[in-house]
Amino acid sequence: MTNIHSCLLAMFILFSCSNPEKKENKDAVTLQAEKYIPEVSDKLTELSGLLIYDDLYWGFNDSGGKNKLYGFAASGKIKKEIEFDAAKNRDWESITQDNKTIYVGDFGNNMGNRNNLLIYKVKKKDISKKKEQKVDVKEIKFSYTNQNRFHYSDKSTPYDCEAMVAFKNHIYLFSKNWRDRTTWRYKIPTKKGEYKIQPIDTFQVNGLITGADISPDKQQLALVGYENYRSFIWLFSDFKGDSFFEGKSQFIELKGINGSQTEGICFLNNQTLLVSCERTNSFMQQVFLFDLTKTEHGTH
């Protein structure tokens, strides 16, 4: 039965990925980037994730960075540093939250050879008012059911991920699929444990997804990404339950930031999105604002 189930799942994914027109929204729009936090501290040159909590903006560096979350103000200055006790930053890539917990995803896997993927859990009640502090963390460990090879495959693996959201007692991962520019969606319980996961469904995003967030009213899902350093957002709405890809989808081309490497995304409110980018030759690390009420029809 296991082999039959695996074969059926593989056929489903192949069929979904080979028929992108079924789900792609051709009615693209554009949004102009507005400067929001143009100068973020040099402690956050990569700014790989973005979260708003306790009147601060939170981010971190990715692979090789310290095992710390940084809370910064609208001025870009660091106001808090939270070190994760007994944790490493192998490749932190995404951050999300629910009412009681902050989750940080250490699951960046550009080479496709990691077998130590996990999500750190931080209880909000453990975060004090101190500027510098250390907190205990719990681990949600996982592996991909369909991955049976862990050899080096630089930027050609479908088993990379940089985006997740917490929603209704689960965490949803959205893959960064180097192979065919789709994103695969996975579902994991928020409880500490070790899980084997497989795709629920897939969506043809025509690029590399690097961040995700759910709107405050839980009615919209936003995925940010880029292709050839041209950034975009896929916005999903009118979905039932957690069937995000079955609702309305809209492709939004981001103007004014060509050459940036967009990494994190979060809703400032139900009509406004913030997008972070890391330092590149073209841009300093910073946060841009995109007002969803100002979309214009574009060409895609």
Tens place of pLDDT for every residue, the chain, 300 residues? 444 444 444 444 444 443 333 344 457 999 999 999 999 999 999 999 999 999 999 999 998 899 999 999 999 999 999 999 999 999 999 999 999 999 999 999 999 999 999 999 999 999 999 999 999 999 999 999 999 999 998 889 999 999 999 999 999 999 999 999 999 999 999 999 999 999 999 999 999 999 999 999 999 999 999 999 899 999 999 999 999 999 999 999 999 999 999 999 999 999 999 999 999 999 999 999 999 999 998 654
What is the distance between the alpha carbons of residues 39 and 173, in angstroms, rounded to a whole number? 29
Domains of the chain plus CATH, in order, are 27-297 (2.120.10)
Quote the pLDDT of residue 154.
84
Length of the chain as a residue count: 300
What is the distance between the alpha carbons of residues 231 and 202, in angstroms, rounded to a whole number? 20
DSSP state of 112: S
Q: Name 121's bridge partners.
A: 103, 138
3-state secondary structure of 164: strand
Q: What is the DSSP string of 148-190?
A: ------TTT-S--EEEEEEETTEEEEEE--TTTSEEEEEEEES
Rounded to two decimals, the pTM is 0.91
What is the distance between the alpha carbons of residues 36 and 274, in angstroms, rounded to a whole number? 8
What is the distance between the alpha carbons of residues 105 and 117, in angstroms, rounded to a whole number? 8
